[in-house]
Structure 1
Amino acid sequence: MRFPKLAFVFMFVGCLVVYLTYVKRHYDDSKPQLPDQLPLHRMDIHKQSTSAQVVSESFQYGIMFDAGSTGTRIHIFKFQIEPNEAPKLAHETFRAIKPGLSAYADDPEKSKEGLLELLNVAKDTVPETLWSSSPLMLRATAGLRLLPGEKATILLDKVREVFSESLFLYRPDSVSIMDGTDEGMSAWITINFLLGVLHGTESPKVGMLDLGGGSTQITFALQDEKTIQSLPLDYVTSFQMFNISHALYSYSYLGLGLMSARLAVLGGIEGQPSGPQELVSPCLAPDYSGQWEHAEVLYTVKGQKAGEPIYETCLTKVEKMIYKRVRKIEGVKDVDFYAFSYYYDRAVDLGLIDESTGGSVKVSDYIEGAKKVCNNMAAGGIKESPFLCLDLTYISVLLQELDFPPDKELKLARQINDVETSWALGATFHCIESIHKHGTC
């Protein structure tokens, strides 16, 4: 039987297609498979040999320099990252050196040695494979705020020069002077992060009170939209974290930190060393005479002659100094607050809390403590703490001016879950979040 020529052609073509399909499939099966998409960002490398160090992909490091007035401190935070979960702080490495960065205002080149010393700590802590993905930051506080603008700028430029050669993840805007509001916000983030409530939408957030030497901050979450709309813009700060928006009441009162307030109550003038340097005050014991240094000015301080009751007279002085300088805000009595710095220190001085473990106090404890200390001082006691009467009276008035009632309880802590309650943790965490979302912090 003879096949038509056309049928023969179809059979030949069919056999050829089957053969080519077989060859292609065999080739595809034998070559290595490639992923559909290469990862855009990795925080580590895989093991390349049985002896190579393995670094978990679930860790992220952040390096924060805290350039304060008395010293520079480095915080190296190691965060554990899990899919669909809030990051956890796995470890913190801390080191501090003196003096502060501002001490090199007239010779910025000398600051380089200390910066390199602390950078070596970071290099010893962070695996080398993660240097390029570990943000490096510096935030300066009171020390640089008080410097003339040009000197502060030159110092920060020196920091940028050193950081740019470090091999860590660095951007010029990662080095800056921190304003008081940012300091309060960062401390608020730290506290709520350590308490494990920052990432929850329903979890109640705690507020933060910080009393430093030159300024004092109050920060807490705002829930009521009507309250938010009624506040001046500079009292409200908003940001997003864990895809949750936070609206905070956050304000820093410059000049109402404990040391600045003490100077004002005594009758001195901040930033004017040529002003009166002998200060007489009813907040000191009648027979007291001594010296006190503030902002590199040495003052002679004396108590007034006996006659008027110390507490009542001192209270009048403090109330006059603070009059209309603090804004009351409704709702603080309904928020749980943590208080730090001099709130903590003066509670220790009164014996209200343990120095190492902290505790809780009521606003009334400061009020009654001030009365007790001032009355004892009038009777000739507590000469080793000449300013305690003034300090406690000021703290009690400040809290009431902020609208905290006498029965309001405050939690005092230097650590939460064995981690220091520093603003550095919150600032680092917020910066890492911003870099991942916006490419800058």
Structure 2
Amino acid sequence: MRFPKLAFIFMFVGCLVVYLTYVKRHYEYSKTPVSDQLPQYRMDTHKHPTSSQVVSENFQYGIMFDAGSTGTRIHIFKFQMEPNEAPKLAQETFRAIKPGLSAYADDPEKSKEGLLGLLKVAKDTVPETLWSSSPLMLRATAGLRLLPGEKATILLDKVREVFSESLFFYRPDSVSIMDGTDEGSLHGTETPTVGMLDLGGGSTQITFALQDEKTIQTSPIDYVTSFQMFNISHALYSHSYLGLGLMSARLAVLGGFEGQPLAGPQELISPCLASDYSGQWEHAEVLYTVKGQKEGEPIYESCLKKVEKMIYKRVRKTEEVKDIDFYAFSYYYDKAVDLGLIDESKGGSVRVSDYIEGAKKVCNNMSAGGINETPFLCLDLTYISVLLQELDFPPDKELKVCYS
């Protein structure tokens, strides 16, 4: 499900705040000294502009790379500029590639091909006259933090090398790993109150525009972000739970520990897997041997207990979410597709209860000896259903599930 205007709300709050600062400064050249950081465009009233000049003067572009744990996505935002008005998102161009940057941890040079391919999309989209004034940024999600040693730093340095030769407006600090607030969303003044849920591999985020003063007063200070944009104050509830992304949570439920290989012939044995299952699974460059637990209590009930124990008191309930429309991305989308709840190309709406019932169905099918080509689906769905309820989403809450 593609939402060009909602991309402005949800995607890359850190990138967009910086970007809009740039374009606002550019557009208000008549009020402030010209910045030497970003080329400025002024209307020459003594000449008749060509059609291409008019396009350049009326629009500005921003290029955002989202480096997730499973893939890298580019969003090219086209903003319409009008006198004395905030920039308006006119269009978004989107492309995605797999695998994610972390797949190149041992050979960073190989990451260049994919990055250059996405940059070509940007160059085909942005008029060449605007390349040097179009900010280029990359924000990596928490999955990159899980790489051992300095591998993440080396990968990001490779990105900086590629970006520095791109001819777009770029600074070294435009490439970084996002903190929890950056992985949240932005609330627009002309947009109904909405929220965002994102379930990555290493972390999960919840963000929404605050409306209830009680929530502001009772939330931890680092969960609430306040900032000004276009002279309007915005308050966001935004938190990233590191270690509760789907892959990290899967490891914890299986009984493993982040970044710690098993000693010798040890195995991770879990009731969340079919009793006859045995296989290997790689996470954060560590290969684990995993097996199903011998038959006993039904798989769903056993798995549910494991998941509830793992997540106990690790997330915070917020009653306000019950009254807000939420969009859910990443693994929320992937698992809804796996269940056949939504169309893979269009997305759709899913209730929390759909994940709950889906988990029961998949787990019970495994208990009955059904064929299971996705051995972790029972665990994953059980985790998603528990996570949503721990965040205080009731079973009948409807989420709009989108491809990000």
Tell me which interval the TM-score lies in, with the shorter structure as reference length: 0.7 to 0.9
Query: Equivalent residue for 1:409?
Result: 398
Q: How many Å apart are 1:164 and its aligned residue?
A: 4.0
Q: 2:280–2:287: 8 Å Cα contact kept in structure 1?
A: yes
Q: Residue 134 of structure 1 corresponds to which residue in structure 2?
A: 134
Alignment correspondent of 2:182:
182
With the length of structure 2 as denominator, give the TM-score of the two structures: 0.79
Contact 2:254/2:268 (<8 A) preserved: yes
| CA shift in 2, pair 1:39/1:267, >3 Å | closer
Partner secondary structure for residue 369 of structure 1: helix
Write the distance in 2 (CA, Å) between the matches of 1:37 and 1:244.
19
Looking at structure 2, the residues matched to 129 and 408 of structure 1 have their Cα atoms a distance apart, in angstroms, of: 47
Shift of 1:219: 0.7
Range with bigger deviation, 360-369 or 270-279: 270-279
Query: CA contact under 8 A between 2:108 and 2:158: conserved in structure 1?
Result: yes
Cα distance change, pair 233–129 in 1 and its aligned pair in 2 (3 A): same
- For residues 35-70 of structure 1, the C-alpha deviation after alignment (integer angstroms, 9 at most, x for no partner) is x99995317889979988444221001122333445
Paired residue for 2:259? 271
1:356 and 2:339 aligned? no
Are the structure 2 counterparts of residues 405 and 68 from structure 1 closer, same or farther at C-alpha, using a change threshold of 3 Å? closer
1:205 equivalent in structure 2? 193
Larger Rg, first or second structure (1 or 2): 1
| Alignment check: 8 A CA contact 1:199 1:242 kept | no
Q: TM-score, normalised by structure 1?
A: 0.73
Question: Which residue is equivalent to 2:245?
Answer: 257
1:84, distance to aligned residue in structure 2 (A): 4.8
> C-alpha distance in 1, partners of 2:82/2:266?
58
Deviation at 1:152, TM superposition (A): 3.7
User: How many Å separate the matches in 1 of 2:220 and 2:105?
Assistant: 36
Distance (Å, rounded) in 2 between the aligned partners of 1:406 and 1:273: 37
- Equivalent-residue separation in structure 2 for 1:148 and 1:44 (angstroms): 51
CA RMSD of aligned residues (A): 3.2
Give unpaired runs (5+ residues) of structure 2.
Answer: 1-29, 35-39
Alignment of 1:140-159 (within 5 A): 140-147=140-147, 150-159=150-159
Question: Given that residues 283 and 313 in structure 1 are in contact (C-alpha distance below 8 angstroms), is that contact kept between their aligned partners in structure 2?
Answer: yes
* 2:64 is the alignment partner of 1:64: yes
Opposite residue 67 of structure 1, the aligned amino acid is: A
Match 1:372 to one of 331, 348, 361: 361
2:145 touches 2:177 (CA, 8 Å); kept in 1?
Answer: yes
| 2:169 match | 169
Partner in structure 2 of residue 5 of structure 1? none
1:37/1:96 CA distance change after superposition, 3 Å:
closer
Aligned to 1:79: 79
1:327 Cα deviation from its structure 2 partner: 1.2
Equivalent residue, structure 1, for 2:7: none
SS in structure 2 of the partner of residue 182 of structure 1: coil
CA distance in structure 2 between the partners assigned to 1:97 and 1:345 by the alignment: 15
Deviation at 1:271, TM superposition (A): 0.9
Identify the match of residue 385 of structure 1 among 374, 377, 383: 374
Partner of 1:235: 223
The amino acid that maps onto 1:210 is: D
Give the C-alpha shift of residue 77 in structure 1.
2.1
**2: CA distance, partners of 1:378 / 1:307:** 10
Structure 1 residue 334 corresponds to structure 2 residue 334: no
Moved more, 375-384 or 271-280: 271-280
Deviation of the 1:238 alpha carbon: 2.0
Distance 1:389 1:152 in 2: 31
Specify which of 275, 283, 297 is matched with residue 272 of structure 2: 283
- Amino acid aligned to 1:410: L
Partner SS for 1:180: coil
Bigger mean CA offset, 216-225 vs 237-246: 237-246
| Shift in alpha-carbon separation, 1:64–1:46, aligned structure 2, 3 A | farther
1:273-331 per-position Cα deviation (integer Å, ceiling 9, x unaligned)? 14575121111222222332222333232222223122211111111111111111221
Aligned partner (choices 377, 382, 399) of residue 388 of structure 2:
399
Paired residues of 1:43 and 1:133 also in contact (CA < 8 A):
no
Q: 1:318 to 1:69 in 2, by over 3 A?
A: closer
Identity %, equivalent residues:
85
In the other structure, the counterpart of 2:4 is none
Contact 1:338–1:411 (CA under 8 A) maintained in structure 2:
yes
Among 197, 205, 209, the alignment partner of 1:217 is: 205
Taking structure 1 as reference, are residues 310 and 96 closer, same or farther at Cα in structure 2, changes over 3 Å only? closer
> How far is the alpha carbon of 1:182 from its aligned partner?
0.7
1:93–1:45 distance in 2 versus 1, CA, 3 Å: farther
CA contact (8 A) 1:44 1:129 kept: no
Q: Following TM superposition, by how much is the alpha carbon of 1:410 offset from its aligned partner in structure 2, in angstroms?
A: 1.5
Q: Distance in 1 between matches of 2:107 and 2:47?
A: 47
**Which segments of 5 or more consecutive residues in structure 1 lack a partner in the other structure?**
1-35, 193-197, 415-421, 423-441
Which deviates further from its counterpart, 212-221 or 118-127? 118-127
Distance 1:107 1:307, change over 3 A: closer
Number of matched pairs = 368
